Amino acid sequence: MKNLLMKIYRALYKAYGPRHWWPGETPFEVMVGAILTQNTSWKNVEKAIQKLKNKGFLSAEGIRQLRKSQLAPLIRSSGYYRIKADRLKAFVSFLFEEYNGDLKKMRRERMETLREKLLEVKGVGPETADSILLYGLKKPIFVVDAYTKRILSRHGIISEQASYGEIQDLFMNHLPPDERLFNEYHALLVHLGKTACRKIPRCDSCPLKEIKCLK
């Protein structure tokens, strides 16, 4: 399985090159993006983040001092903005309660312990928690999303009923715990899902079409 997973990675990297993901000037900006990107496009998230920047509130302390009624309009472009304002406030409260608002202190926490704590924060599910860990804190954990599941199931590597944990374990158990590898691999799978392995697949343009998987 390791050989197959690395063969897929190399084919995608050769086709698409480095994806430079996750875009963000600071770890906190990445974390905000991970929360805001739920159920919306990144383009809409960028608008919300830029607005927070322009108003001087794109920091843990900045969001902390805003009321939800003040924060929500600033992130309107991200959709479900009242719900997401609530989630951002919950995350920032967690950050201050557990780590005094210090991301360096947060990063020193053992990954498994930190993940458990993140999953208890309102509105933070496995994908968001793992995005915060991998992209925001550079922890070696593999992020799974709908694109990953679609691609792997179409190639017969997993079943369509596979859980988040089962798919994550496939990567974590067969690849070295390398943050940079996990970062690039997930970003490449997302790009493949957006360009070729769409809901209506464009198999002719797929870099994986020549790879013999388990089908």
The domains of the chain are located at 2-20+142-205, 27-136
The CA distance from 133 to 66, in Å, is 25
Q: Give the separation between CA 99 and CA 202, rounded to whole angstroms.
A: 46
pLDDT of the residue at 178: 97
pLDDT at 130: 98
Hey, what CATH class is 27-136 in? mainly alpha
Q: 202: buried, middle or exposed (CB in 10 Å: 19+, 13-18, 0-12)? A: exposed
Grade residue 127 by pLDDT with cuts at 50, 70 and 90. Answer: very high
Does residue 212 register a pLDDT over 80? no
Mean of the pLDDT values across residues 91-119? 97
Same fold, 2-20+142-205 and 27-136: no
pTM value?
0.95
Does pLDDT of 214 surpass 70? no
Q: What proportion of the chain, given as a percentage, has pLDDT over 90?
A: 95
Q: Count of alpha carbons within 13 Å of 8, Cβ hemisphere only?
A: 23
Mean pLDDT along residues 63-80: 97
CATH level 2 (architecture), domain 2-20+142-205 = Orthogonal Bundle (1.10)
Mean pLDDT over the full length of the chain: 95
pLDDT of residue 213: 65
Best CA proximity match to 194, nearest among 1, 21, 5 = 21
